[in-house]
């Protein structure tokens, strides 16, 4: 019996050790190589962002090397360590793909309309109402979703972005709640906003997830706007964080109660612009 117990313990140890294989580490290296190629392409159009991503990629390559050495030296790498690096590589690759948004060309005569292009600055906050159910058990990397702006964004007395303007994005990374790691995660990337029928490139991160039901029945005109000019598209006075999730500084939505991330249709997402939006 004692010998059998020893064999069972050893078998369990071996199983835990091979949870992450050399093939998994090789996939991380391949993902890092792909990211490097994407950044090289991005550099042709956005030198600043490409330089930032190169530095982050360099750090991630060091972490991949560390996992590779640890696997060979100690015989095991935890699934949590592997998933952490993999998810951050996925996020980096998503940011490097930002230039692929297809915006409509400027219409003939627009330049002579007398209205110069406007730029919405970095840090501007908008509240969006989600038009699509998002669930970490069903979502897959690259799945598309749609939201609409909740309030008008004004510059002075002029409405630059109307309430109801479509905002499109995709799933940048997703992880369902599992047997060992009970925290599910979901990261959303935003790449396009349509203003007056014309698409513009958008890069933004989620700052907060609010319960849309708390706003139902309230007229937009009755809602209190944020006082800061750079946040005229968001509201205050509604303490209605969506139950069961929190949003970290990187914009990843994580479950707090050992369940999956569930964002019902109508959820309010407060986003913050990571790059300016040019409106023509």
Q: pLDDT tens, 46-55?
A: 888 888 899 9
Task: Give the bridge partners for 126, in sequence order.
Answer: 233, 271
Statement: residue 64 has pLDDT above 70:
yes
The predicted pLDDT at position 47 comes to 83
Are 81 and 182 part of one and the same domain? Answer: no
**Is 175 within a domain?**
yes
- What are the angstrom distances between the C-alpha of 101 and each of 190, 192, 247? 10, 7, 25
* Residue 223 and residue 269 in one domain: yes
Contact residues for 39 (Cβ-Cβ < 8 A; gap 6+): 50, 53, 54, 57, 96
Q: Tell me, yes or no, whether 139 and 251 share the same domain.
A: yes
Contact 148, 167 (CB under 8 A): yes
Percentage of the chain beyond pLDDT 90 is: 14
Going by pLDDT thresholds of 50, 70 and 90, the confidence category of residue 112 is: very low
Residue 76 φ then ψ, to 5°: -165, 145
Q: Which of 49, 69, 100 is the last residue of a domain?
A: 100
pLDDT of residue 231: 43
Q: Name residue, tokens 């050893």.
A: 10
Q: How many domains does the chain have?
A: 2
Show the domain range for 68: 16-100
Q: For the purposes of burial, counting CB atoms within 10 Å of the CB of 99, is it exposed (0-12), middle (13-18) or buried (19 or more)?
A: middle
**Model confidence at 102, in pLDDT bands (50, 70, 90)?**
very low
- Mean pLDDT over all residues of the chain? 76
Of how many residues is the chain composed? 280
Residues 269 and 209 sit within 8 Å (Cβ to Cβ): yes
């Amino acid at each position: 019996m004692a010998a059998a117990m020893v064999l069972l313990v050893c078998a369990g140890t071996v199983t835990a050790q091979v949870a992450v294989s050399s093939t998994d580490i090789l996939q991380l290296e391949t993902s890092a190589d792909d990211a490097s190629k994407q950044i090289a392409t991005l550099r042709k159009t956005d030198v600043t962002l490409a330089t930032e991503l190169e530095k982050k990629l360099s750090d991630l390559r060091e972490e991949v090397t560390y996992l590779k050495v640890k696997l060979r030296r100690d015989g095991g790498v935890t699934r949590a360590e592997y998933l952490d690096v993999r998810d951050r590589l996925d996020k980096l690759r998503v940011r490097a793909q930002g230039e692929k948004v297809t915006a409509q060309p400027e219409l003939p005569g627009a330049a002579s309309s007398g209205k110069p292009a406007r730029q919405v600055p970095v840090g501007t906050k908008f509240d969006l109402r989600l038009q699509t159910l998002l669930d970490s058990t069903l979502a897959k990397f690259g799945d598309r979703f749609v939201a609409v702006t909740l309030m008008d964004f004004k510059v002075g007395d002029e409405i630059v972005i109307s309430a109801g303007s479509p905002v499109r994005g995709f799933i940048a990374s997703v992880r369902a709640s599992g047997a060992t790691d009970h925290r599910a995660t979901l990261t959303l990337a935003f790449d396009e906003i349509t203003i007056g029928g014309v698409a513009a490139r958008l890069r933004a991160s989620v700052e907060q997830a609010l319960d849309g039901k708390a706003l139902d029945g309230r007229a937009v005109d009755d809602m209190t706007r944020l006082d800061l000019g750079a946040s005229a598209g968001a509201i205050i006075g509604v303490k209605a964080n969506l139950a069961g999730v929190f949003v970290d500084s990187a914009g990843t939505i994580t479950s707090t109660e050992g369940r999956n991330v569930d964002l019902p249709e109508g959820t309010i997402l407060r986003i913050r612009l990571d790059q300016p939006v040019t409106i023509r």
